[in-house]
Structure 1
Amino acid sequence: MVIWSACNRKREGLWQSWVAAVLLLGLAVPVQADIYRWVDDDGTVHYSSTPQPETSQRERRIYDSEGRMREILPAPMSAEERAQAAAEREQAERDLEATQRARQDRAAREQQLRRAYASLDEIEELRERRERSIAGNIQRSEAQEKTLLRERERIRRQLDGANEGSPLADRYRAELEELDARIARERQYRRGQRDRLSAIHERLDLDRRDFQQLVMNGRE
């Protein structure tokens, strides 16, 4: 019995020694952890397993347990940098919106031109018709002014032969004022017609250019 108890104690001691060795071996295995590199205000470089709170406003580099850099955490932007970044984002959004509107306007303009004209020749035909119409209006107005001027000259001679201060002289003066107003209106009408013709040429020139670029893709 004594021999058996001694053997049991010996086995128990060996078992405890083996367990202790296993635990020590486990503790000897290096734990994989990130290592943080940071620089303080004095320029001193530090390494630690946890990031330093006071370095939150600086760039931080993270290394693995073997010393290889795994990640760089950039320093947060300053208030001025954040404001500039926000302004740049807003400008980029405005530029994008402007580009989208320009694309939509281009598509709408192309559709408008396709509905209005079948070819460049049709634009020139429309130009000629408008020119003839306005030229006719101007010629009729000039003829009307000539008639009014002749009538004005006739009444002027009658006024010269009438007694000064008589009712007849007053009537001639009133007729002359009316004729002068009608002559002024005819001249103003012709100026408006010429301005209208200039605007038509400008618009048709633009239509021709856009039709060639948008519809015909720059072809003649």
Structure 2
Amino acid sequence: MVMSGGRKRGSVWGHGVFWGLLVLVLALPAHADIFRWVDDDGTVHYSNTPQPEASQRERRVFDSRGLMREIIPAPPTLEEREQARAEQEQAQQELEAARQARADRAARERQLRQAYENLDEIEELRARREAAIGGDIERSEAQEKTLVRERERIRRQRADSESATDRERFEVQLEDLEERIARERAYRQGQEDRLAAIQQRLDLDREDYQRLVLDGEG
């Protein structure tokens, strides 16, 4: 009876363990993920849940058969995020610069089409400006020569004069002549600078007209 009873109790316990293991096996998902991660010491670990401390590292997910299903890359570092943000801002700036350049080319082309019918008009305008400003410069040079001759005449009179009153009057006249000569020179310099600026602008107009209007660039 004892042995029998012992056999009976053993049989019941064995069946209980069997059914418990069966329930446990049936409760597990058929395709549970297995996570592989490496700790700071380089030791490889496997688990069915991702490790929080491994969230900053690359993670590999395996299925229940041990086959790798996917690789979850490590999230970018702060430095990498800052670099990506800087690259994105630079790309946006370059895109905006390109858009603005296209708009500027279109506006420039419209301006040139409205201003000129052809390249000959640019050269005709250049000739008119050079003639007008060149004439002003020549007249200023002639006026300066007249003032210089008058200054020399007054200097001779001052040198020959024996009257202090006359010499004082000649000094006043010479000061006035010096100021008028300086004004003529300043005016002429301004006209020469103006002519140079006009020539430079017309050179640019000619170049842009050829490139944007005739050649159709942009």
Distance 2:51 2:120 in 1: 78
> Structure 1 stretch 56-65 or stretch 66-75: which is displaced more?
66-75
2:211 maps to 213
1:92 aligns with 2:119: no
Aligned-partner residue type, residue 199 of structure 2 = H
TM-score when normalising by structure 2: 0.80
CA 1:29–1:40 in 2, change beyond 3 Å: closer, same or farther? closer
2:194 maps to 196
1:124 maps to 123
Say what the alpha-carbon RMSD is for the aligned residues.
Answer: 2.4
SS of alignment partner, residue 188 of structure 1: helix
Cα deviation code 1:58-85 (max 9, x no counterpart): 0012233344433221112222222222
Displaced runs of 4+ in structure 1, greater than 6 A? none
SS of alignment partner, residue 153 of structure 1: helix
Alignment of 1:8-157 (within 5 A): 27=26, 31-157=30-156
Distance 1:38 1:190 in 2: 84
- Equivalences, count: 196
Distance 1:99 1:35 in 2: 50
Aligned-partner residue type, residue 175 of structure 1 = Q
Distance 1:34 1:50 in 2: 8
Structure 2: stretches of 5+ with no match in the other structure? 1-18
> By how many angstroms is 1:218 displaced?
6.2
Identity across matched positions, percent: 65
Structure 1: stretches of 5+ with no match in the other structure? 1-19
TM-score when normalising by structure 1: 0.79
CA 1:156–1:28 in 2, change beyond 3 Å: closer, same or farther? closer
> By how many angstroms is 1:105 displaced?
1.7
> By how many angstroms is 1:175 displaced?
0.9
